[in-house]
Amino acid sequence: MSTLLKIDVSTRGSLSISRQLSSRFVEQWKKGNSAGKVIERDIATTELPFLELPWIAANFSKASARTDEQSVLLKFSDDLVAELQQADHYLIATPMYNFGIPAKLKAYVDHVVRAGITFRTNADGSYTGLLTGKKATVIIASAGEYTPGEPAEGLDTLKPYLHEILGFIGVIDVTFLQSGSTWKVDNGSETADAHIAPLNEQLMAAASA
Ligand SMILES: Cc1cc2nc3c(=O)[nH]c(=O)nc-3n(C[C@H](O)[C@H](O)[C@H](O)COP(=O)(O)O)c2cc1C
């Protein structure tokens, strides 16, 4: 049975372009995976504390040496990691904020990139990602366009970052879909359906892969 982990980030509810795209993706995915399971992780409504010293101390203590308090502190992170371990396809739908990922998505990343669990350090100092055999589809909504080869491409830290961090934990099969110029929907000069239409083929292909 295939499992899809759907991670939505936008706070804009039904106005969100990334959420509209992720919903369509799931509809299509379900057609090809009728017995499959979808885990929904809504970052916008998930309380994601920034990492503080007690959490860091707990994380870097050996599991066998942790106090009960430390285990409780890590429980939420353990649950998030379990979702990643269970799923074979990750769908991350996120807005671009200030040329990068929203802080809440970064907080999520900080909770799931864990030594000995989602990556390991080798004797020679290199790293090996432990979430192997997975694939990811990343849907990005942005007001600007960051077309490859155009000058604005260099401003985009979102795609390179997610590409690197997913690779770091072992996810190397990553497809990016970007919906730029979302301001046209916000100001009413384009309907959401018309805006999304050019991405449909790519979206359906990623959801059917
Ligand atoms: C705080 C904030 C920062 C933003 N920064 C950028 C940015 O750097 N580049 C960009 O192209 N769009 C930026 N935007 C626009 C959003 O990426 C755009 O509205 C997107 O459609 C939001 O995603 P959603 O439609 O899924 O909610 C920003 C929006 C907000 C609220």
Mean pLDDT value of segment 101-122: 98
Question: Is the pLDDT reported for residue 153 higher than 90?
Answer: yes
**Percent with pLDDT over 90 in the chain:** 98
Beta strand 127-129 with 119-121 is: antiparallel
Q: Are 169 and 134 in contact (CB under 8 A)?
A: no
Q: Which pair of tokens denotes residue 71?
A: 């285990």
Looking at the DSSP bridge assignments, the partners of residue 178 are 140
Domain total of the chain: 1
Ligand 1: which atom is nearest the Cα of residue 20? 26
- Global pTM reads 0.97
The Cα 43–Cα 15 span in angstroms is 16
pLDDT at 108 (0 to 100)? 98
Q: What is the mean pLDDT of residues 32-56?
A: 97
**Averaged pLDDT score across all residues of the chain:** 97
Residue 98, ligand 1, Cβ within 6 A: yes
Q: What is the position in ligand 1's atom list of the atom closest to the CA of 146?
A: 11
In which domain, by residue range, is 168 found? 3-208
Give the pLDDT confidence score for residue 1 in this predicted structure.
84
Written as one letter, the residue type at 53 is L
Whether 92 is in the pocket of ligand 1, judged by its Cβ within 6 Å, is no
How remote is the C-alpha of 19 from its chain's centroid? Answer: 13
Q: Is 16 in the pocket of ligand 1 (CB under 6 A)?
A: yes
Parallel, antiparallel, or unpaired: how do β-strands 119-121 and 173-179 relate?
A: unpaired
CATH of the domain at 73: 3.40.50.360
The answer, yes or no, to whether any atom of ligand 1 lies below 6 A from the CB of 97, is: yes
Assess contact for 118 and 74: CB atoms under 8 A. Answer: no
**What average pLDDT does this structure show over 67-89?**
97
Sequence-ordered list of residues with C-beta below 8 angstroms from that of 56, at least 6 positions apart, any chain? none
Q: Which among 111, 107, 109, 129 is positioned nearest to 119, based on CA atoms?
A: 129
Specify the pLDDT at position 209: 84
